[in-house]
Structure 1
Amino acid sequence: MSALLRRLDLLLTRLRWTISVPVVAALELLLAWGSHPHGLVVAIIAVLLIGAVLASVHHAEVVAHQVGEPLGSLLLAVSVTVIEVGLIVTLMAGGGSGTDSLARDTVFSAVMICLNGIAGGAFLIGAVRHRLAVFNPEGTGAALATVSTIAVLCLVLPRFTTSHPGPIFTGAQLTFAGLASLLVYVLFVLTQTGRYRDFFLPVAADGTVRDADQDGHADPPGIRSAVISAATLVLALVAVVGLAKVESGAIKDGVHALGLPDTVVGVVIALLVLLPESIAAFRHALGDRVQISLNLAYGSAMASIGLTIPAIAVASIWIDGDLVLGLDPTQIVLLAISLVVGTLTVVPGRAKTLHGGLHVVLLAAFVFLSASP
């Protein structure tokens, strides 16, 4: 047995960390599944979890480089949403306090982090590094309009409907909201990848699409082990979902030990699953490709609602208890001001440091009020 472990260790050291870490994380998942770890084991799982997230960023970008933009951004957004849906469903199935509103808290947290953290950080980095953050207002505006529509439909309207007491949809209303949000998301994807694809490509300072071969579209990507990266990406995502489920008990215990409300659990989950998007977006902003950063930010916000809500609606058939989707008044105010500031930022197609700073302040307000409502 020890000889086998030594051979496995030697094999892993020869592999790149982006491949070895997901493999080790998957093995750890097999060992820890169904347990409630404590102490050092929790720390080890956390390290492997973060490593698997970072590895997923690398492999998603390799595959994205193969398929080109904006499909690359779409791929990473969908990958992150798969993690989010898996985490929410497994945690809700486990039951416990706060699980009835876990989907709402996680989705809302993801939207606020995308609108203000990822997009705002990209605006700020782009403006500081290149004087102005330049992007295409037509494509970005369409993405923000889509996010606004499905966010209000799925997260705000349940607070004002009267067929069911409380911020909860009836079965028919939930079905409509799920189908409508999914339809809107699919319509946007067809727009982004079809006739209006160029609206979602990086632009130069004069507003023209960057295109070295002058064929009117993004330059073709190179081939870099796309098949291996796709397979490893799937493994990394499975490891992230499973290990996060294993860690969920420690996350809840930590939140309760600090005397924080259950909504903070949703914030932690959203921060975790959006880490790949954040890293990729900030990297593109540093390279003066703010449009790709915004594709990632708004695409992730869109997928968080447009894909998560339908999936949770289906899962609610087998999960006991109510599904709370309606936001609290404070959350509605934060969402509204984020959408207004985002719209005013997007319209000119150029953002200054001020715009990025405003979004970062809104993110800070969201985090603070989540911990101290």
Structure 2
Amino acid sequence: MELKKNLPAIFEDFADARQAAFLKAKALKDQNVPLIGIFCTYFPQELAMAMGASIVGLCATSDETIPEAEMDLPRNLCPLIKSSYGFGKTDKCPFFYFSDLVVGETTCDGKKKMYEYLGEFKPVHVMQLPSDQGEASLALWKSEIIRMKEALEAQFGVTITEEDIRGAIALKNDERRALKHLYGLMKQDPAPVLGQDLFKVLLGSTFEFDRSVLPGNLTAIAEKIQSEYEAGTAVDKRPRILITGCPVGGATEKVIKAIEDNGGVAVAFENCNGTKAVEELVDEDNPDVYDALARKYLNIGCSVMSPNPNRLKMLDTMIDDYAVDGVVEMVLTACHTYGVEARSIKRFVNEKKNKPYITIETDYSSADIGQLNTRLAAFIEML
């Protein structure tokens, strides 16, 4: 079955969400609503939601400000770090400009050193993330979450109660359930939509400041996709690809496009923009809200964790649930944690799951698009 030409129209609002959010950020400032800029999925968003603040992601995905960033940072540094710092330094991103507080986590050496420079022109709070997921690390992360809560209270002159946090946990869990239902539609074969269109929604949802409306909006899109699928609209039968590795977005969406321009379909995203931070809910029955938050967020299977069994566990499940034919790992240049871990992921995918695997190393430029198409076309042809 061919994909109907008018189907992507249902994604337009989410595709334009980042641009629209620039104006919303200005409106929030006019209403004196606190805006907190974050870099990572390890930030417990429920804390900000509990005090009525809005949250926006600051990880930039363009090479526009990298030359400016390289005046302060090494050239052989991850493009995500350089781009993010560059947009903060130059005030070319409204999200940086309007953020009242920037929150970082010590996920990698490059980021945590960059935060020191970022703190010279923005208020920055850094959460000390443990490097493993044991009980001692859980205790440390819980204390960091409490310290984060106290920093928000001090910065904004508010009191964040446990009751407020519980309400935010319930709301955020509703959002996670709606996202899981949406991307879970891709388990169907053939896929109901292209991965490029699904990814627009996943990325666009992060720029919705009113989290209370997000679950309903996501559910409505999922219902429309499913109803059109049942009416006979679907992507033609293609090799099914799972994308894992570094965050995808902006310039690196070229990887998704290259997969689908060369005959595949990206049915699953095991990374920060996909299932990694959404699949597990916060335990609403845990009497200790800080312990509940600490357990959920510390369990995220990011490559910064050593060892990192939760990533393998998620990949194991997703490869089966989405009937994956091959795995594409995208690694940003100089991202050492994902670069080093790629060997163990390749071994797991090839030997444990008996599936083909390829690593793609890229950055935020367009210089390698031809090479990407050549390599991914050969990979998909092999499938």
Q: Which has the higher strand share?
A: 2
> TM-score when scaled to structure 1?
0.31
Greater fraction of residues in helix: 1
TM-score of the pair, normalised by structure 2: 0.30
